[in-house]
Structure 1
């Protein structure tokens, strides 16, 4: 984090990145002194409600974050910034998005947790758009012109007021990660799925929480002891959910998907639902994951946008990759069979032990497939097939084949990967077919 004193004194001359979080109520004009170098500007966590009309003077600016401020309208000045391709205005008070506010080079737009009830049709002109984050607004429909954004790969539109999914959505050729839970059209499927899943109630008084294992946007996970009826103690993990909307949607939708997913060796087992928490907090009791398991990759960077970041030395034998790919495909296929779309099928949401044993986690973007519309449900599953195809590509490209036979197997994987990621979404295989093909390879 930088300071205004550093900016005013000239200490930041030549800076490519600037982050100011100091109660700003107006855009500091001193920032223009960095116009020839500044590429990333973070003004999140201030009290800003406007940007200067001459913002385009920052002619090298590519990334702008203005989350957690007081904006009520997406500033029109953004649309005049020719190099700007990533815009983040999460958790403001934005109600309107003017057409002129959309930069021509826009690639990543974050408008999560605002009060937007409509998007302009001009968004269809943003043909470079890859990532669109709209969860937690008041949208009743998406503009039909968005179908022209054929580069779109990730779409978050959970926790809105959508009455239906657009017919054109599943046909977007590059869409791989989709979240739509918490809308009126998905609520009934979510409720029915939870009611159908048998899950034990775990009294809060029987849980003793210890150290924190992790924290995400939707909740906090603790290591815990669960006192059994026979007097024994069972080590578990407890996830306590937050109430606020996340970048993916509502925490209650995540909890519902975890409950409805069912038991599978490549999913983290749900042991029960927390009951009688003194503050009414929702929570799940989960199997405690062996500490040798770690994330397969890191999340996308600002530069990679939608693709995960692997360690430079990430590599593995074919047998290891095959075990991992088979397990994750099987888990995803079970989710689909249980009416669930994971929505975030990424390496950074897979825990693995380095030997090919993997666990697919993070159900924050999970949604429920429409039970009464089988054609649409199949189309949505084929969106996730593309996500798996991209994961398979990442695993395959880091394999170390030992002989000609393994080279041949990788060639068959390449064919499967191409089928999963082909632009014609309706021709992609379902996850159950993918899992069977991997098992037979």
Structure 2
């Protein structure tokens, strides 16, 4: 069987299996997720053995420390996956929910019901925990899912797929509801993106190259989880003592993830006071600062940034620093270099904070908070399938409702149109 035949068969089976999900009760779906959580704990050692194969390969290929961190299924990461599964179980099931039921003048009752999208294809890089979190959200919302993780995580993803399918079978649910593409051949993705007769939505989650490849080659609607070029703007009315831990957390908590800080903007009226303090704190955490001419003159530890640095998603302990004249320049910079992911302001001025919220275009806009909070779990959605940086049909972290659509339902008593 060729790769094309293998992927076509896999997608066809997912389409067939998706119909069985629409009639599953919430209780059954939750039992599947609870079983996945149990198996993650019971089979932790075997999962981590497979994960270690990926880590060894990653080191041999020269992956950065940040990328290896994203790849690692540590005890902490596995426990966070278990916690996320329990959170999804506890969330209300949106499927079957009827909104806006109204009686028309002709007596018809018209409403809109939440229904699954159908079959979702996820194409993503590095983080194998996405395999479980994406599958959990799809199961809860009655969607079948085809998962294609990065080649660097193939052993981890196949081990997690085995866990997921065991849990499905334990509750008499078709195991083809969740499938992981078992090859690292890129041709598999290319062919997957042509299967519009089986797949309803593609969600790419990864670097800029992956997003562009999927967007340019897909015949299926694409919901983009684009790169995270996130900024923290230190306003002239900022509390510097508050700004320091926000900058450190945003940049260094997990530098290899999409909601990590990549650009630090400082109002010129506070720059002489704030930059040395921020620079000391960040450099002490191992961050390399690359800045504009004004920032390098204010602090010699900031090295001159290259033109290519601005707007770069470093995913590492590197941070761009820009001193701006005012709010308008900060806004213009974010519009030019941001990726509509996460933007945050540090200020004690309410009016400026409201301007930032109203005028900055991003999937999440923060006031006096770390960019790291743009995350489904942190925002109350439970596990997320990604953070959409496009506005159709979701914007920001995609939880349960973002994986559904609504159909009209109409109750009549024999009415005909005249």
Richer in helix (by share): 2
The reply to whether TM is greater than 0.5 is: no
TM-score by length of 2: 0.27
**TM-score (normalizing by structure 1):** 0.26
